[in-house]
């Protein structure tokens, strides 16, 4: 029964992600504190390697992947384009 609950939970999160129109990276970013968002923005501005950013985020308990960050960084993720 617990496995069924997990499937339901995972599927509901996927549905939310699809209806919000933003990628997993942006959702993770929005969950950060303002101070952590600024630190991450600074890392982008300093052109830190994706693997370094992933390592830092994972050390803070964030779930992310290099591919997710690369897609967002390159503008090929599902986030609305300006």
Task: Render pLDDT for 12-52 as a digit per residue (tens, 0 to 9).
Answer: 766 555 556 788 889 899 999 999 999 999 999 999 999 99
When pLDDT is cut at 50, 70 and 90, the band that residue 77 belongs to is: confident
Tokens of 29: 């970013």
> Where in the chain are the domains?
23-82
Check: CB of residue 59 under 8 Å from CB of residue 66. Answer: no
Tokens of 66: 């290099």
The predicted model scores a pTM of 0.69
Whole-number pLDDT of residue 14: 61
Considering 15-24, 56-65, 71-80, the range whose residues carry the highest mean pLDDT is 56-65
Tokens of 26: 């942006």
């Amino acid at each position: 029964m617990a496995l069924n609950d997990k499937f339901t939970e995972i599927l509901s999160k996927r549905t939310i992600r699809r209806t919000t129109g933003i990628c997993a990276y942006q959702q993770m970013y929005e969950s950060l504190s303002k101070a952590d968002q600024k630190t991450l923005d600074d890392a982008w501005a300093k052109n830190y390697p994706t693997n370094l950013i992933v390592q830092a985020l994972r050390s803070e308990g964030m779930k992310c992947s290099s591919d997710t960050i690369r897609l967002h960084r390159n503008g090929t993720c599902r986030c609305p384009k300006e």
